[in-house]
Chain A
Amino acid sequence: MAAARRGNRTLLISTDPAPSLGDAFRRRFRSEPTAIPLRRGLLDAVEIDARGALERWIDARRAALERIALRGTWLDSEDVSRLLSLALPGIDELAALFEITRFANGGRYDVVVVDTAPTGHTLHMLTMPDTLRALARVFDQMQSKHRVMVEALRGRWIPDAEDALIEEIDRDGQELRALLRDPARVQIAWVTLPEPMAVEETVDASAALRLDGIPLAEVIVNRVTPKRERPCPWCDRRRPLERAAIVAMERRLPRHVGVTGIEARRKEPTGVRALSAIGEEMAAASAPSMTRGATPKGRWRALPPPARRAGVVSTMASAGAQVILFGGKGGVGKTTCAAAASIAIAKNAPRRRVLLVSTDPAHSLADAFGESISDIPRRVRGAPSNLLVREMDAAAGFRAVRARYVDSIDALFDRLVRGSGSVQLEAGHDRRVMQGLIDLAPPGIDELAAVIGVTDSIESNPGQIVVLDTAPSGHALRLLEMPALVQDWTKALMSIVLKYQPVAGIGEFGADLLKLSQGLGRLRALLVDPGRAAFVVVTRGASLPRAETLRLIERLRAMRIHVPAVIVNATGRGSCRTCREEAHAEQREIEKLRHEIPSEIKTVVTPAELPPPRRAAALHAWQRQWRT
């Protein structure tokens, strides 16, 4: 809005698969620009439909894509069109980039503002140009076989539509890569909260961006507690803690990164007027107000509401539970809740192994437990010994899967060469194409690794309870859709393997596919079994998280996934006027939520605590204050 007011034709795009733009403006947006009426300036908004965008992209190039695949592989047109019709895992980031480019190059706008998905997936999106270029290289290898043959027969090669497509993909990748690294054309502002876990994630993200050579322009710290006229146990304690978090972050950020503070509003800012005031505050770019003084010692906790405590844990984890997912909007405290609940679940079931796994590429479990966590499950200090914690390393998981398939595909080609008998078949080219394809890290790598990792984990130890700390809403849903999607791919590949069985045999590749498909089938059955799987939604007592929670629950129920409870996290405030107003608004939101969700879903309320609970002992003490 600030850009539009200054005379720029502005487009606001949300690339989050669970967009909240509509909630913020109290309007409905679509995948094509909708005008936001302003008194001055032009502002349109779009919520990207990733699947539609990718389908549009493929449809426009389908013929050339099919021809490249036909020329470069052993597959026939039936196989190729079958594979092309399958949904691609995790296409949101790729489609988002295509859409941003489409609108930015359309000439209709001077400024394009992109509201991205949460941390991990945004970092992925920013590295997508490299994936595009890698894809162009594989296509080029596929095409080269055809080029060599035509050259040999006709004496020369005239570039065709397929060459043009390969060049287009490579050029798009190259241009996007350069664009993202050009501070004159792109400015990246990271939005965070003045809380230890959020600033930790910001510092990690800044380091990841620097590693990729993408410049971070500024960090916006949202909801900074302003100075109050009267003493307040919440605000007076929170401000020095916020200050400490911001100072620690500033120290670890590169010097040129500006830090802007946005003060918390008394009322949740929705609608044009409230948002425009924030826009003007950001345009004025002031550093967060810093109060001096020592951080108060000890712990402050909002009074737990007078309600039932019994059965909080058993509500979430029934006796036969095997998988419990924690998910919700970004920044609501999923990780803290999942960590605290896991401790309680492990204490409740001392004979069962409880494995807490973070599948969010921007992991926070290490921050919640105050110690380093890796891809190898390990115990944490102060937590029950039957609790193991793991932060899934998707890249490593993918490397392992890739190594497995590289071996079995190698074996497949060896058999092809042997199977051709006296006619020596030149399979080296196809082998390179297959390896190139396998080397492409798919966009949905995190969800893919999580699904395969969780399947392996459950299959190898059926007695354990797996608790998943998922990435924010849109990506948690993507994770849940992944088993079916990957199974479609494994089945399509199995059909192809069977079709070529007389020539190439089945071998390990087929056996691997069968095992994966069977495991995925069992995982899918498990996820829709209310006795064994549950999805606990974490939210806050505010209107934007409530709207997202309701949509999430609706989607989960449509997928037949059992939602036993919604946790309204960090409720209660201090005693100043603003705190009292906020607490009232929060209560109203909780009441609304209770009425709007299906009656069988329990509402669990957790008290706000300062400093936020960290390490096993504090997490457990805090969890004991949860109420239904």
Chain B
Amino acid sequence: MFLLDTLLVGGIRFVLDKVAAAVDTELNDDTALREQLLAAQMRVELGEMSQDEFQIFEADIVARLREIRDRRQGAGAATLSPKEYKITGIDATFEGDEH
């Protein structure tokens, strides 16, 4: 049981770490935004996205890039360290027949 708990909580902790890192990346990493922009350009080239859709998307990305720049120039990067949150509970639902 102890092993299961460790695995479960450890596993969830691992996932949440990844989520936190991803949120951090989203907030502060302009490389990811630039990649998103490149991906959108590729989708336009492939005919999967229209020029109009791209323009809206591009405007949004540019605005976010500007935010990052402002944040960097301003109060320093907002970071979300895995140490700053605490797991308070796990809500799990199981579906299907019990054996």
**Interface status of B35 (Cβ within 8 A of chain A):** yes
Whether A511 lies near B38 (C-beta < 8 A) is yes
With both beta carbons as reference points, the residue of chain B lying nearest to A505 in the complex is identified as: B35
Question: What distance in Å separates the Cβ of A486 from its nearest Cβ neighbour in chain B?
Answer: 14
B45 and A491 contacting across the interface, CB-CB below 8 Å:
yes
A15 at the interface (CB under 8 A from B): no
Of residues 34 to 52 in B, which have CB atoms within 8 Å of A's CB atoms?
Answer: 35, 38-39, 41-43, 45-46
Q: How far apart sit A513 and B46, CA to CA, in the bound complex (Å)?
A: 11
A2 to B90, CA, bound (A): 90
Q: Is the interface of A mostly helix, strand, loop or mixed?
A: helix
Does B42 contact A506, Cβ atoms closer than 8 Å? yes
Q: Which of A488-536 contact B (CB under 8 A)?
A: 491, 494-495, 497-498, 501, 505-507, 510-511, 513-514, 517-518, 521
Q: Give the docked Cα–Cα distance between A505 and B25 (Å).
A: 13
Chain A min CB distance to B71 (Å): 23
Whether the Cβ atoms of B39 and A491 lie closer than 8 Å is no
State whether A494 touches B45 (Cβ < 8 A).
yes
Q: Tell me if A498 and B39 are in contact (CB < 8 A).
A: yes
Nearest-neighbor residue (CB-CB) of A492 within chain B? B46
Q: Which residues of B contact A518 (CB under 8 A)?
A: 45
Contacts of A501 on B, CB cut-off 8 Å? 35, 39
Contacts of B38 in A (CB 8 A): 506, 510-511, 514
A511 to B, closest residue via Cβ? B38
Which A98-112 residues have C-beta < 8 A from chain B? none
B42 proximity list for chain A (CB < 8 A): 494, 497-498, 506, 510, 513-514
Cα of A517 to Cα of B41 in the assembled complex, Å: 11
Assess the B46–A491 pair: CB atoms within 8 A.
Answer: yes
A interface size (C-beta, 8 A):
16
Task: Name the A residues within 8 Å of B45 (CB-CB).
Answer: 491, 494, 514, 517-518, 521
The answer for the CA separation of A498 and B45 in the assembled complex, in Å, is 12
List, in ascending order, chain B residues with CB within 8 A of A517's CB. 45
| Cα distance, A511 to B35, chains bound together (Å) | 9
Q: Which of A494, A495, A507 has the most CB of B within 10 A?
A: A494
| Chain B nearest CB, measured from A505 CB (Å) | 6
CA distance A514 to B46 in the complex (A): 10
Q: Kindly provide the distance from the CB of A18 to the nearest chain B CB, expressed in whole angstroms.
A: 33
Residues of B within 8 A of A521 (CB): 45
In the complex formed, the residue of B with least CB distance to A491 is: B46
How long is the Cα–Cα vector from A511 to B41 in the complex, in angstroms? 9
A493 to chain B, nearest CB (A): 10
Among B50-97, those with CB < 8 Å from A are none
550-603 of chain A: CB within 8 A of chain B: none
Cα of A521 to Cα of B39 in the assembled complex, Å: 18
A514–B38 CA distance with the chains assembled, in angstroms: 8
Q: Chain A residues near B35: list those with CB within 8 A.
A: 501, 505-507
Q: Which residue of B lies closest to A517 (CB)?
A: B45
| A506, B46: Cα distance in complex, Å | 15
Contact B41 A514 (CB under 8 A): yes
Docked pose: A34 CA to B31 CA in angstroms: 63
What is the distance, in angstroms, from B12's C-beta to the closest C-beta of chain A? 16
| Alpha-carbon gap, A491 to B42, bound state (A) | 9
Per the bound structure, the CA–CA distance linking A506 and B45 in Å amounts to 15
Cβ of B34 to closest chain A Cβ, rounded Å: 9
Q: How far is the CA of A514 from the CA of B41 in the complex (A)?
A: 8
Q: How far is the CA of A494 from the CA of B41 in the complex (A)?
A: 11
Shortest Cβ distance from B43 into chain A, in angstroms?
7
Give the docked Cα–Cα distance between A498 and B40 (Å). Answer: 10
Which chain B positions have C-beta within 8 A of A510? 38-39, 42
A402 to B59, CA, bound (A): 35
Nearest CB to that of A521 among chain B residues?
B45
Q: Are A495 and B39 interface neighbours, CB within 8 A?
A: no
Q: Produce 1/0 per residue, B13-44, CB < 8 A to A.
A: 00000000000000000000001001101110
Q: How far is the CB of B60 from chain A (nearest CB, A)?
A: 18
Task: Give Cα A517–Cα B44 distance, bound, in whole angstroms.
Answer: 11
The distance from the CB of B4 to the nearest CB of chain A, in whole angstroms, is 21
Minimal beta-carbon separation of A418 from chain B (angstroms): 13
| CB of B66 to closest CB in A, whole Å | 22
Query: How far, in whole Å, are A517 and B38 apart by their CA atoms in the complex?
Result: 13
Chain B residue numbers with a CB within 8 Å of A514 are 38, 41-42, 45
**A494→B35 CA distance, assembly (Å):** 13
Task: Write out the residue numbers on chain B whose beta carbons fall within 8 Å of the beta carbon of A497.
Answer: 42
Q: Which A residues are in CB contact (< 8 Å) with B46?
A: 491, 494-495, 498
Q: How far is the CB of A332 from chain B (nearest CB, A)?
A: 39
Q: Which residue of A lies closest to B41 (CB)?
A: A514
26 A-B contacts (beta carbon < 8 Å): A491-B45, A491-B46, A494-B42, A494-B45, A497-B42, A498-B39, A498-B42, A498-B43, A498-B46, A501-B35, A501-B39, A505-B35, A506-B38, A506-B39, A506-B42, A510-B38, A510-B39, A510-B42, A511-B38, A513-B42, A514-B38, A514-B41, A514-B42, A514-B45, A517-B45, A521-B45
The 7 A-B residue pairs whose C-beta atoms are closest, nearest first, are: A494-B42, A506-B35, A506-B38, A517-B45, A514-B42, A491-B46, A498-B42
| B interface residues with partner A (beta carbon < 8 Å) | 35, 38-39, 41-43, 45-46
Q: Can you add 17 more A-B contacts, CB < 8 Å, to A494-B45, A514-B38, A518-B45?
A: A491-B46, A494-B46, A495-B46, A497-B42, A498-B39, A498-B42, A498-B43, A498-B46, A501-B35, A505-B35, A506-B38, A507-B35, A513-B42, A514-B41, A514-B42, A514-B45, A517-B45
Taking beta carbons and an 8 Å cutoff, which residues of A are in contact with B? 491, 494-495, 497-498, 501, 505-507, 510-511, 513-514, 517-518, 521
